[in-house]
Structure 1
Amino acid sequence: MQDNSLYEFNDGLSEDALDEDPQSDSILEGLNESQHEAVSAELRNMLIIAGAGTGKTRVLVSRIAWLIKHYHIAPRNIMAVTFTNKAATEMRERLSLMVGNSVQSSLWANTFHSICLRLLRAYAQYAGLVPGFTILDTDSQVSLVKRLMKDMNIDTKEFKPSDIASNISKQKENGIRALAYSKKVSVKSPDYVKVTDRVYTVYEKVCNQENSVDFSELLLRTVELLENNREIRELQHRRFKEILVDEFQDTNSIQYRFLRLIAGPNSHVLVVGDDDQSIYGWRGADVGNMRKFLEDFSDVKQVLLALNYRSTQKILDVANTIIGFNSDRLMEKVLKGNFGEGDKVKILNCANNKVEAATVTDRIAALHDSGVDYRDISILYRNNYLSLDFEQNLLRKHIPFVIYGGQKFFERAEILDAIAYMRILVNEDDDTALLRIINTPSRKIGPKVVEGLRTIASERNCSLIKAIRLLEAHVNSGNVDKTLSSLYKKISVFYELFKALNEKRQNMSLSAFADEMLRMTGLYKYYQEKDFKDGKDTEEHSRYANLGMLISNIKEFEAAPPAEDDSSEENTSESTTEKEKKTEDPLLTYLSNITLVSTGELNEEGGTSNVADAVNLMTMHASKGLEFKYVFLVGFEKDILPSRLCAYSDKSLAEERRLAYVGVTRAKKALFISYAQVRSMFGKSEPTGASSFLRDLVREYKGKQDVPLMIEAVKGYSFY
């Protein structure tokens, strides 16, 4: 540990953050009774159960504003955890309007991953990392796993590297290190478990050597940091007085551990969630954390938000009925709306999937003819493969559409290449980045040359860049070993470029350097020629144009105000850590930011939203958090929803029903639910029919007068 001055805590509040607002009660204006109760509650632990469309974001923002204005809590003493960077940005912007711009730089409003990254940057040496560590995005993680598997002679066709990488991440999210995982493996374990064991052990070692962390490592390493360092943990306890967590039903095991560690004995924790919208169990989310919160935190006040500000009552009646069949709910909530009764939900019983796609497309065309913008319409489906028929019909009708969940901006090859060059410049030990671009564009550095270099690095237990330096020193010493001299001659073209780039970036702005880097490396010319060869040079989003958009993204990053980062500095003295922060490499900061955002929030154009007037196509999972005036829930049928794989597990079946509930509650004005009696799959036509969820829904209203739905048979097929 450094001297205790590092841990001195200044509990004073900045004047601009503490100005008393005599009109602080204006924060409560327009809130309903339940929202008012949540926002103005006394300082204590709280669980807010917020139904779909009940204004939870407004409640969260208003609560933070209330803490600042009414309880005089400084923004820097508040941590707000969101599940997307977009949500965090929106929260800060709304708060700025309510309490002033000071909140933008001092409030910690970030995702779990971003918060953990900030802590690890501040305490890298205590977390077993070298300052300047880089983050492996999903593509880089899979590439590294694939490289290791090939080195270990593991068949990458029999065992997919992406599956092994995913399993490693899953273990980390459960707090299980490689050694602990190995102890669980026996001779009777399945082959994929044994393979994961072998790869995980080496993967962990190589990540440490390359000074890199993957997404799951950010969380696990921070949890271990807080568990193993009492002084650092207690500093955070003194710092964060109020902690608020959004989308709490989606937290996993390691995130819950982090929350318990970051909350001190005098902190208050407010969590907002809806157990009826917990749909990510397949990736580790544990809806049970909501019950654990009531058990593990003292004197928890519960508030239910059930007044819906999104949908008509007919849509809400359908949603309430569907979810009502789940028996594992934390509490029963019946959503009530304030937009009137609305039209009945239309159930389209279609002869087959071709009829379904044609019918939905015709309804969309009719809506547009009546004055509805395409952007206000969405087609939601359980699985991505279901989109094909709709894509073809929309194209046939010349209806514009956007598919969410496709390749994202930072997943494109040209962008990944550019980022790999940046990564090796900030972290010379990042062999995964170097191997991606050492011969891109081609420098005639073939596999044999790379293998020779890797052999030297392995023998000397060093990174590839350091191995090149050893070769350089060997050749410059006058040694005439022809093999080594030949190897260095072939590799030197890349090494000279590497040195030149390092020199260039010392005296240039980040955006200017990035632009020069793309020229010096040849990436601009390389992708311009590829576009021309493939006939894509005139496309708006050609690969060359995407590189230009990357430069624009960097300029936006440069223009953004820096966030206050004082996780380790609570006094005004100039400590070593503080001086380091002031000179932190902007390229490293940029890489950290875009790597976290590239987890899936940027579309193919590098933006965060769809501004084009186009129909939105996406999975029900991807639709969570979104809303559209007109929604078509398609493929609502047997063996699709619920999935055939989930039909025999009560837990999985409950999550599938929650998924259906999420889909229904995306609709604001009108909802269409369609299914096919016969669906063509793998070249064969198979009888399907209505989902069991739909049958339950129809039976529930059979014989009743006030029915929120109507069934329309297309091509004369009966519902049953």
Structure 2
Amino acid sequence: MQDNSLYDMENSLLEDALDADPQADRILEGLNESQHEAVSSELRNMLIIAGAGTGKTRVLVSRIAWLIKHFHIAPRNIMAVTFTNKAATEMRERLALMVGNSVQMSLWANTFHSICLRLLRAYASYAGLIPGFTILDTDSQVSLVKRLMKDMNIDTKEFKPSDIASNISKQKENGIRALAFSKMISAKSPDYVKVTSQVYNVYERVCNQENSVDFSELLLRTVELLENNQEIRELQHRRFKEILVDEFQDTNAIQYRFLRLIAGPDSHVLVVGDDDQSIYGWRGADVSNMRKFLKDFSNVKEVLLALNYRSTQKILDVANTIIGFNSDRLMEKVLKGNFGEGEKVRILNCANNKTESSAVSERIASLHESGVAYRDIAILYRNNYLSLDFEQTLLRKHIPFVIYGGQKFFERAEILDAIAYMRILVNEDDDTALLRIINTPSRKIGPKVVDGLRTIANERNCSLIKAMRLLEAHVHSDNVDKTLASLYKKVAVFCDLLKVLKEKKESLSLSAFADEMLRITGLYQFYQEKDFKEGKDNEEHSRYANLGMLISNIKEFESNSTAPAVSDESAPESTADSDEKKEEDPLLTYLSNITLVSTGELNEDGETASGTDAVNLMTMHSSKGLEFKYVFLVGFEKDILPSRMCAFSDKSLAEERRLAYVGVTRAKTALYISYSQNRSLFGKVEATGASSFLRELVREYKGKHDVPLTIESISSASYY
């Protein structure tokens, strides 16, 4: 390692500047006793168990401000990990108000994936990557898996590429590479496991060839980088003195491994979580990480936040009762409210699903007539298919609504096409991107031409673009093969297009280049004509209009980019981080940012939907982290919640109960829980009835005087 005097000097200068700040104690103003304890605690490892609506974001932000203002920790020595980009942005904005924008800009406040990307950009060569590597979004990952499966003659109808891609990601999240996974396979292994292993081996090799990484690879490769390179690991240990992690109950195995590696012997780690809100076990989240933290980190201080600032007490009483039946809780917490008793929770016992949707829609109409904005109302359900009845009824009643979880802006075909052109301009080895747009719009480059290119690429062990260059060189040589000359003639138009795009990229601003790219490639005209043929040319969200919105998104990115997203020019010099001195290609930075944006945070416009005055429809899983004045929990019935899939698993049953708890605690002012006695599913009417969770709840209050709920039976005749 080189001398760290510059590193120490920077911290000393910042400490001197902060020493003069007399306003540190203002950070503690307005905090309750538990919050005050968490924020002002001495420097040490901490586990903050934060119940729903107890102000954990305020505590996290205030703790970071306290570290800077009171303990004089340099912002660049602080890492704050969030689970969504939206949460990271909110944290930075709130910090800017407390400590100043210039100070907060130098700390790392990002998601796990963004932080790992930042480290991999800085140490690409040490991680076995070429600088400028691209990130495969979910669509690109599935496309690549599908292509490989077809090459391997694996039936994509019997084995869905999306399932195989998901299985590969799960192995990576458990830290298992393709070779290690193949050694775990036996003759008795299920066929889908054997197929996953076969595809995983090829997938790993092709990703390395194409210099691309998927989301899970970002984490796994960073963990391997830190494990295998002591110099880089120790540099991070000196850098990050205070590490804070939000939503800790949602961390998986590889994220926990990363946390243990990034924290040095002199670092302090503060994690905030609520085991009662751990609802993502199905995608790898491990609630036991909270217990592991107490075991693996020394001298951990535990702080409980239980004063709720969101809901009325009757809603909290229902939530406390539901979750109280779980026996695997880290500690018992009873949420106390700050907004009075409130209305009783209304349980709607409906004759059937049509009656349920009508009853809910009528109450929504009445709320709106009384002055409640539609945006303050949410309908939450366990499974997406349950939304259909409510969509149809709301439409009939002319009640506007938005659905979370549909096709998002960056998942649209026209946007994916535009992004694919951008990707090959920053990474010529990205064959997955190239194959998407080599003939979009049509250039008469059919499957036979592509197969010819792939044959050359396989023979020369190179990318398709490099294969085109070999063809171009060949046709200008003395001994020209007619077959190869014919092949080049068919792809020459695309080769020429790439050359023009590269020139434009170097001479124009990012947004001006993107606009020119859409024109030169023909995507503007292609989708304008497609809209016209389908009668969608005058629609607000036509494909052509979406391309225009992409340009607006890029302009917004330009205006908000005050520094390269992953460079860190203040870092001390070393052989390991010299790449950080280089200014990153703005196009590469933009692609990295949009690929890492959680689609769950965006509506179809690529924006948050909070500004639309419409009823919010979403699954309970999607609702986590959100809150609404009026919440309708629908389909709260047998075999739906809890799901019939977890009938024989105590672990799964506990997670389903936590999901119900999350749904209940989204409500601020009033909560409605509805269920049907009969439900039409797959063309058949089945007797359903109340969820076992609801039965537990009602039994608990039977015979008691202070009951926080009321039950209303609604017959089918009420709405017919």
Equivalent residues in 2 for 1:596-607, closer than 5 Å: 596-607=596-607
For the pair 1:529 / 2:532, whether they are aligned, the reply is no
How many Å separate the matches in 1 of 2:344 and 2:68?
A: 44
Q: Is the 1:6–1:570 contact (alpha carbons within 8 Å) kept by the matching residues of 2?
A: no
Aligned position for 2:297? 297
* Partner secondary structure for residue 80 of structure 1: strand
* Residue 20 of structure 1: how far off its partner (Å): 3.2
What residue number does 1:470 align with? 470
Q: Which residue of 1 aligns with 2:193?
A: 193
- In the other structure, the counterpart of 2:412 is 412
Q: Please list every run of 5 or more consecutive structure 2 residues that lacks an aligned counterpart in the other structure.
A: none
Structure 1: runs of 5+ lacking an equivalent? none
Tell me if structure 2 keeps the 8 A contact 1:236–1:567: no
For 1:535 and 1:88, how far apart are their aligned partners in 2?
41
Contact 1:122 1:568 in 2 (8 A): no
Partner letter of residue 255 of structure 2? Q
Please give the alpha-carbon distance, in whole angstroms, between the structure 2 residues aligned to 1:262 and 1:568. Answer: 20
Amino acid at match of 2:129: L
In 2, distance between residues paired with 1:200 and 1:6? 42
**Corresponding letter in the other structure for 2:563:** P
**2:92 pairs with 1:83:** no
| Aligned counterpart, 1:161 | 161
Q: How many residues align?
A: 715
**Aligned counterparts, 1:515-664, within 5 A:** 515-560=515-560, 561-562=562-563, 570-571=571-572, 578=578, 581-664=581-664
Partner Cα distance (1:240, 1:566) in 2: 16
Return the offset for 1:301.
0.3
- Aligned equivalents of 2:59, 2:577: Cα separation in 1: 37
Secondary structure in structure 2 of the residue aligned to 1:106: coil
Kept in 2, the 8 Å contact 1:6–1:569? The answer is no
CA 182–8 in structure 1, closer or farther in 2 if over 3 Å, else same: farther
Please report the RMSD computed on the Cα atoms of aligned residues, expressed in angstroms: 1.7
| CA offsets 1:111-147 (integer angstroms, 9 cap, x no match) | 0000000000000000000000000000000000000
Alignment of 1:13-92 (within 5 A): 13=11, 14-15=13-14, 18-92=18-92
Q: 5 Å matches for 1:124-203?
A: 124-203=124-203
Would the alpha carbon gap of residues 6 and 555 (structure 1) be closer, same or farther in structure 2, given more than 3 Å must change? farther
Structure 2 CA distance for partners of 1:564 and 1:138, relative to 1, 3 Å: closer
Deviations 1:45-81 (A, max 9, x none): 0000000000000000000000000000011110000
2:356–2:675 contact (8 Å) kept in structure 1: yes
* 1:341 Cα deviation after fit: 0.3
Shift of 1:533: 1.0
C-alpha distance in structure 2 between counterparts of 1:121 and 1:579, whole Å:
8
Asked if structure 2 preserves the Cα contact closer than 8 Å seen for 1:403 and 1:616, the reply is yes
Q: Secondary structure at the match of 2:144?
A: helix
Deviation at 1:602, TM superposition (A): 2.0
Amino acid at match of 1:650: D
Aligned counterpart, 1:357? 357
CA distance in 1, matches of 2:155, 2:18: 62
Partner of 2:98: 98
Amino acid of the residue matched to residue 245 of structure 1?
V
* Aligned-pair CA distance for 1:536: 1.1
**Match runs of 1:210-249 below 5 Å:** 210-249=210-249
Aligned partners of 1:348 and 1:714 also within 8 Å: yes
What is aligned with 1:434? Answer: 434
After superposition, the C-alpha distances for 1:243-267 in whole angstroms (9 at most, x for unaligned) are 0000000000000000000000000
Asked whether the equivalents of residues 567 and 581 of structure 2 are also in contact (C-alpha less than 8 Å), the reply is no
Which AA in structure 2 matches 1:214? D
Q: TM-score, normalised by structure 1?
A: 0.97
Q: Distance in 2 between matches of 1:600 and 1:180?
A: 33
* CA distance, structure 2, for counterparts of residue 105 and residue 599 of structure 1: 25
Take 2:683 and 2:677, find their aligned partners in 1: how far apart are those partners?
16
Partner of 2:455: 455
- Structure 2 letter corresponding to 1:343: E
Q: Which amino acid in the other structure matches residue 541 of structure 1?
A: H
Deviations 1:212-268 (A, max 9, x none): 000000000000000000010000000001000000000000000000000000000
In 2: Cα distance, 1:39 partner to 1:108 partner: 19
- Taking the aligned partners of 2:29 and 2:249, their CA distance within structure 1 comes to 28
The SS at the match of 1:47 is: strand
The aligned residue for residue 376 of structure 1 is 376
Task: Give 1:22 deviation, angstroms.
Answer: 1.2
Q: In structure 1, how many angstroms separate the alpha carbons of the residues matched to 2:373 and 2:598?
A: 29
CA contact (8 A) 1:471 1:488 kept: yes
1:506 aligns to 2:501 (yes or no): no
Q: Is the 8 A contact 1:48 1:305 kept in 2?
A: yes
- C-alpha distance in structure 2 between counterparts of 1:6 and 1:430, whole Å: 39
Cα deviation, 1:142-198, whole Å, max 9, x if unaligned, reads 000000000000000000000000000000000000000000001110000000010
Secondary structure, counterpart of 1:402 in structure 2:
strand
Q: Is the 8 Å Cα contact of residues 564 and 584 (structure 2) preserved in structure 1?
A: no
Is 1:665 aligned to 2:661, yes or no? Answer: no
Whether 2:2 is the aligned partner of 1:4: answer yes
How far residue 570 of structure 1 moved from its aligned partner, in angstroms, is 2.9
Give the 3-state SS of the residue equivalent to 1:417 in structure 2.
helix
SS in 2 for 1:279: coil
User: How far is the alpha carbon of 1:481 from its aligned partner?
Assistant: 1.8
Q: Which residue of 2 aligns with 1:492?
A: 492
**Residue identity in the other structure for 1:452:** G
CA distance in 2, matches of 1:252, 1:435: 33
Cα distance in 1 for partners of 2:217, 2:568 equals 19
Q: 1:243 to 1:11 in 2, by over 3 A?
A: farther
Question: Counterpart amino acid of 2:281?
Answer: G
Given that residues 314 and 342 in structure 1 are in contact (C-alpha distance below 8 angstroms), is that contact kept between their aligned partners in structure 2? yes
Could you give the per-residue CA deviations for residues 616-670 of structure 1, whole angstroms, max 9, x where no partner exists? 0000000000000000000000000000101210000000000000000000000
Asked whether the 8 Å contact 2:347–2:709 carries over to 1, the reply is yes
Q: Residues of 2 paired with 1:582 and 1:464: CA distance?
A: 28
Segment drifting more, 158-167 vs 593-602: 593-602
Q: Distance in 1 between matches of 2:394 and 2:107?
A: 45
User: Which amino acid in 1 is paired with 2:540?
Assistant: E
| Identity value in percent | 83
1:309 equivalent in structure 2: 309
Task: Please say if 1:324 is aligned against 2:329.
Answer: no
Alignment TM-score, normalising by the size of structure 2: 0.97
* Partner Cα distance (2:519, 2:8) in 1: 48
- Residue type of the partner of 2:115? I
